[in-house]
């Protein structure tokens, strides 16, 4: 589905004319000069997060993003990052489609991919060579040691409380503040929320339906992994009207991460009238729903489930942002509606 950035930019920058410029790792990134302009008096600004604080003295021009979704917000606000995380998975090749389309709209070149070493650590030498003036990792799993090493290179913004738990609105506000574009960030949030609300209003059957969200059952698995309410993908479903299963809410209170495991023996006790999931390939769906215990579980037994086989859609759901949400809602929501079968039993 093609992304239509005008819907968001019309709110964020009314009647703006885009100024296009080139971008490479050896030059300043391309910027939509209207959407990318900093608010008056925005700098210096200090942001505090779970790992420390970052003081940004002036408008960042060379931004490196690590983790998920930050690259979307930076691009939505009018700047192309000089480097970002690799999103290669299944049918996705390095860059997520809505991000790639936005970079093309800005007239820039796609950013470098942040490399990792054989030890699966960030390639700090590469990041240093990019000469960033800001490193954004607000929805990531960077460690305290990685944070310190990145902060030695440039001001670095990590997650507010815990790894991988920054919701899309918090993420947008944080990056908007870091880029000196608080008003633009709020406008993007308002426009995106309007789209979500419109979808929820069009589907009143979603309201109050207890749901679960997880991934497929791997070979030999003895437990089902479910995302907990502090995870952004669950929060987006709740914005559409669904409510988290009470057992998953309880699971979220005893885990520090973004998911928890429910043993197959206890799966029947998880109340759910709709199950959403993602898979790597069609065979994953069959292996999951044909497992005798999973097959007897309420939402699967009633045919009230939907597994996303399209990796782009799975990514859009997994890292909701001001770019991915409008890009994907018109596709994901009708699928959810078509597969939702609520029964009294």
Phi, psi torsion values for 165, nearest 5 degrees: -125, 15
pLDDT at 35: 57
Q: Answer whether residue 142 is part of any domain.
A: yes
For residue 112, report the phi and psi dihedrals to the nearest 5 degrees.
Answer: -65, 160
Helix residue ranges, H only, the chain: 6-12, 70-76, 97-106, 124-129, 144-151, 168-178, 182-202, 232-239, 246-252, 282-289, 292-295, 298-301, 311-318, 324-339
- Tens of pLDDT, residues 136-152: 999 999 999 999 999 99
Query: In the beta sheet, which residues pair with residue 214?
Result: 226, 277
The answer to whether 289 and 267 are in contact (CB under 8 A) is no
Q: What is the pLDDT of residue 30?
A: 46
On the question of pLDDT at 203 being above 90, the answer is yes
How far is residue 174's CA from residue 48's CA, in Å, rounded to a whole number? 10
Domain match, 294 and 241 both: yes
Residue 68, token pair as written in the block: 């998920």
> Is pLDDT at 163 greater than 50 in this prediction?
yes
47 lies in the same domain as 158: yes
- Whether 345 is covered by a domain: the verdict is no
Residue 288 lies in a domain: yes
The whole-number pLDDT of residue 89 equals: 75
Contact by Cβ (8 Å): 214, 299: no
Q: Tell whether 258 and 176 lie within a shared domain.
A: no
Asked if the model's pLDDT at residue 105 lies above 80, the reply is yes
Query: Which of 174, 195, 216 is the C-terminal boundary of a domain?
Result: 195
- Per-residue confidence band for 281, with pLDDT thresholds at 50, 70 and 90: confident
Q: What is the pLDDT of residue 93?
A: 83
Confidence of residue 345 (pLDDT cuts 50, 70, 90): low
Q: How far apart are CA 295 and CA 23, in angstroms?
A: 51
Percent of the chain surpassing pLDDT 90: 83
Q: Is 52 exposed, middle or buried (0-12, 13-18, 19+ CB in 10 A)?
A: middle
pTM, whole model, 2 decimals? 0.88
Q: How many Å apart are CA 178 and CA 38, to the nearest integer?
A: 10
220-231 pLDDT per residue, tens:
999 999 999 999
Are 213 and 155 members of one domain?
Answer: no
Residue 163 belongs to domain with CATH number:
3.40.50.1980
Q: What is the mean pLDDT of residues 11-19?
A: 33
Q: Is residue 188 part of a domain?
A: yes
**What local confidence, expressed as pLDDT, does residue 228 receive?**
97
Any domain includes 90 = yes
Query: What pLDDT, on the 0 to 100 scale, is given for residue 119?
Result: 78
344 is a domain residue? no
Specify whether 175 is located in the same domain as 307.
no
Cβ atoms within 10 Å, residue 71: 30
Indicate whether 10 pLDDT > 50.
no
322-338 pLDDT, tens per residue?
Answer: 999 999 999 999 999 99
CB 172 within 8 A of CB 205: no
Query: How is residue 261 written in tokens?
Result: 């495991």
- Mean residue pLDDT of the chain comes to 90
Helices (H), 217-277: 232-239, 246-252
Q: Which of 328, 282, 336, 331 is nearest to 304 (CA)?
A: 336
Give yes or no: residues 118 and 227 share one domain. no
Domain count of the fold of the chain: 2
**DSSP assignment string, 34-74:** TTTPPPTT--SEEEEETTEEEEE-S---SEEE-SSSHHHHH
What is the DSSP pairing of strand 63-65 with strand 52-56? unpaired
- Residue 95's domain comprises 6-195
Non-local (6+) Cβ contacts of 55 within 8 A are 44, 45, 46, 155
Least confident of 107-121, 306-320, 329-343: 107-121
Residue 54 maps to a domain: yes
Confidence band for 211, pLDDT divided at 50, 70 and 90: very high
Instruction: For residues 208 and 298, state if they share a domain.
Output: yes
Q: Do 190 and 208 lie in a common domain?
A: no
What pLDDT band is residue 11 in, cutting at 50, 70 and 90? very low
238: β partners: none
Q: How many other C-beta atoms are found inside a 10 Å radius of the C-beta of residue 97?
A: 20
């Amino acid at each position: 589905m093609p992304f239509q950035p005008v819907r968001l930019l019309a709110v964020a920058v009314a009647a703006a004319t885009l100024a296009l410029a080139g971008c490479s790792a050896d030059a300043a990134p391309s910027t939509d000069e209207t959407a990318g302009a900093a608010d008056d008096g925005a700098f210096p600004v200090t942001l505090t997060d779970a790992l420390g604080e970052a003081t940004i003295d002036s408008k960042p021009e060379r931004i490196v993003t690590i983790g998920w979704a930050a690259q979307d917000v930076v691009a939505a606000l009018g700047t192309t990052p000089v480097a970002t995380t690799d999103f290669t998975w299944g049918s996705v090749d390095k860059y997520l489609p809505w991000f790639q389309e936005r970079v093309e709209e800005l007239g820039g070149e796609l950013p470098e991919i942040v490399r990792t070493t054989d030890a699966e650590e960030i390639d700090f030498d590469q990041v240093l060579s990019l000469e960033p003036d800001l490193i954004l990792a607000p929805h990531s799993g960077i460690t305290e040691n990685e944070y310190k090493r990145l902060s030695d290179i440039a001001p670095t913004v990590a997650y507010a409380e815990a790894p991988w738990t920054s919701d899309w609105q918090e993420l947008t506000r944080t990056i908007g503040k870091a880029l000196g574009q608080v008003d633009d960030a709020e406008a993007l949030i308002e426009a995106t929320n309007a789209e979500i609300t419109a979808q929820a209003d069009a589907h009143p059957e979603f309201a109050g339906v207890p749901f679960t969200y997880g991934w497929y059952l791997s070979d030999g698995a003895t437990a089902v992994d479910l995302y907990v309410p502090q995870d952004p993908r669950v929060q987006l479903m709740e914005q559409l009207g669904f409510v988290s299963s009470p057992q998953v809410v309880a699971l979220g209170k005893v885990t520090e991460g973004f998911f928890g495991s429910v043993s197959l023996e206890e799966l029947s006790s998880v109340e759910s009238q709709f199950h959403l999931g993602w898979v790597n390939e069609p065979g994953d769906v069959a292996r999951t729903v044909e497992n005798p215990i999973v097959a007897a579980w309420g939402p699967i037994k009633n045919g009230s489930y939907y597994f996303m086989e399209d990796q782009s859609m799975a990514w859009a759901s997994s890292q909701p942002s001001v770019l991915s949400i409008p890009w994907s809602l018109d596709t994901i929501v009708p699928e959810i509606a078509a597969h939702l079968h609520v029964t009294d039993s």
